[in-house]
Amino acid sequence: MPELVKAENLVKHFPVAAGRVHAVDDVSFSIMEGETLGLVGESGCGKSTTGRLLVRLIEATSGRILYRGRDIASMNGRELRQARRQVQIIFQDPFSSLDPRKCIGETIGKPLEIFGVGSGREREGMVDVLMEKVGLSPRLYYKYPHELDGGRRQRVGIARALSLSPDFIVCDEPVSSLDVSIQAQILNLLQELQEREKLTYLFVSHDLSVVKHISNRIAVMYLGKIVESASSPDLFHDTLHPYSQALLAAVPIPKLNRRRERIILEGGVPSPIAPPPGCRFHTRCPQRMDICASEEPRLVDAGGGHLVACHRVFGA
Amino acid sequence: MNGPLLEVSDLSVVYRTYEGTVAAVNGLGFSLHRGRTLGLVGESGAGKTTTALSIMGLVPSPPGVVESGRIIFDGQDLLRLPEREMKRIRGNRISMIFQDPMTSLNPVLTVGLQISEALAAHQDLSEAEAERRAAEMLERVQIPAARYREYPHEFSGGMRQRVVIAMALACNPSLIIADEPTTALDVTIQAQVLELMKSLKEEFATSMIMITHDLGVVGEVCDNVAVMYAGRIVETGSLEQVFSDALHPYTRGLFRCIPDIEEELSVIRPIEGLMPEPLDLPSGCAFHPRCPRCMEICRTRVPEAIERDGHGVMCHLFSEGGGGDHA
Buried b (16+ CB within 10 A) or exposed e, A85-118: bbbbbbbbbbbebbeeeebbbbbbbbbbeeeebe
The number of distinct structural domains making up chain A is 1
Longest alpha-carbon distance in chain A: 68
pLDDT value, residue B1: 54
- Indicate the helix (H) or strand (E) that contains B16: strand B6-17
Do the beta carbons of residue B78 and residue B89 sit within 8 Å?
yes
Decide if pLDDT at A316 tops 90: no
Could you report the per-residue pLDDT of A260-286, keeping only the tens digit for each? 667 888 878 888 899 999 999 999 999
Q: From CA B84, how far away is CA A136, in angstroms rounded? A: 52
Is residue A97 in some structural domain?
A: yes
Look up the domain containing A264 and give its range. Answer: 3-308
Residue B68 is predicted with a pLDDT of: 95
Per the domain annotation, does B39 fall within a domain?
Answer: yes
- pLDDT of B44 reads 86
Instruction: Please enumerate residues of A whose Cβ is less than 8 A from a Cβ of B.
Output: 42-43, 149, 151-152, 179-185, 187-188, 206, 208-210, 212-214, 233, 236, 246-256, 258, 262, 264-265, 268-269
Task: Give the total number of structural domains in chain B.
Answer: 1
Identify the CATH number of the domain in which residue B230 sits. Answer: 3.40.50.300
Residue B226 structural domain = 6-93+173-313
Q: Go through chain A and tell me how many residues it has.
A: 316
Evaluate whether residue A150 is within a structural domain. yes
Of B218, B257, B262, the CB nearest to A183: B257
Report ipTM for this prediction. 0.84
A235 within domain boundaries: yes
Residue A60 in any domain: the answer is yes
Chain A partners within 8 Å of B220 (Cβ): 252
Please determine, for residue A106, whether its predicted confidence score (pLDDT) is greater than 70: yes
- Quick one: pLDDT at residue B278? 81
Query: Would the pLDDT of A1 be above 80?
Result: no
| Cβ neighbours of residue A82 closer than 8 Å, sequence gap 6 or more | none
Task: Find the distance separating the first CA and the last CA of chain B, reported in whole Å.
Answer: 41
* Long-range contacts, stretch B76-81, CB < 8 angstroms, 24+ apart: B79/B54, B81/B57
User: Is the pLDDT at B213 greater than 70, yes or no?
Assistant: yes
Q: Is residue A182 part of a domain?
A: yes
**Model pLDDT for residues A242-256, shown as the tens digit of each residue:** 999 999 988 888 888
* Cβ separation B274–A151 shorter than 8 A: yes
B155 lies in a domain?
A: no
HSE of A20, CA atoms in CB hemisphere, 13 A: 10
Domain assignment of residue B59, yes or no: yes
Domain assignment present for residue B88? The answer is yes
Question: What is the rounded average pLDDT for all residues in chain A?
Answer: 92
Q: What is the pLDDT of residues A124-145, one digit of tens each?
A: 999 999 999 999 999 999 999 9
Q: Å from A209 to nearest chain B CA?
A: 5
Q: Has residue B47 got a pLDDT over 90?
A: yes
Q: What is the pLDDT of residue B327?
A: 40
Identify whether A314 is part of a domain. Answer: no
Least confident span in A1-10, A27-36, B100-109, B223-232:
B100-109
d(CA A312, CA A243): 12
Average pLDDT over residues B139-168: 92
Task: With cut-offs at 50, 70 and 90, classify the pLDDT of residue A259.
Answer: low
- Average pLDDT for A58-73: 92
Residue contact A256–B244, C-beta within 8 A:
yes
pTM: 0.89
Confidence of residue B35 (pLDDT cuts 50, 70, 90): very high
Which pLDDT score is estimated for A261? 66
- Helix pair A242-250, B187-204: axis angle to 10 deg: 50
B43/A contact by beta carbon, under 8 A: yes
Say if A255 falls within a structural domain.
yes
- Helix then strand count (H, E) for chain A reads 9, 12
Phi–psi pair at A293, nearest 5 degrees: -80, -15
Distance from chain centroid for Cα A27: 13
- Which pLDDT value is given to residue A207? 92
What CATH number is given to the structural domain containing A117?
Answer: 3.40.50.300
Q: What is the pLDDT of residue A260?
A: 62
B241-293 pLDDT, tens digit per residue, is 999 999 999 999 999 999 988 887 778 899 988 888 888 899 999 999 999 99
Answer yes or no: is pLDDT of B226 > 70: yes
- Rounded Cα distance, A187 and A191, in Å: 6
Chain-centroid distance, C-alpha B14: 18
Residue A73 lies in a domain: yes
pLDDT, tens only, A166-217: 999 999 999 988 888 899 999 999 999 999 999 999 999 999 999 999 999 9
The DSSP code sequence of A197-253 is HT-EEEEEES-HHHHHHH-SEEEEEETTEEEEEEEHHHHHHS--SHHHHHHHHHS--
CB of B213 closer than 8 Å to CB of B244? no
Evaluate whether residue B161 is within a structural domain.
no
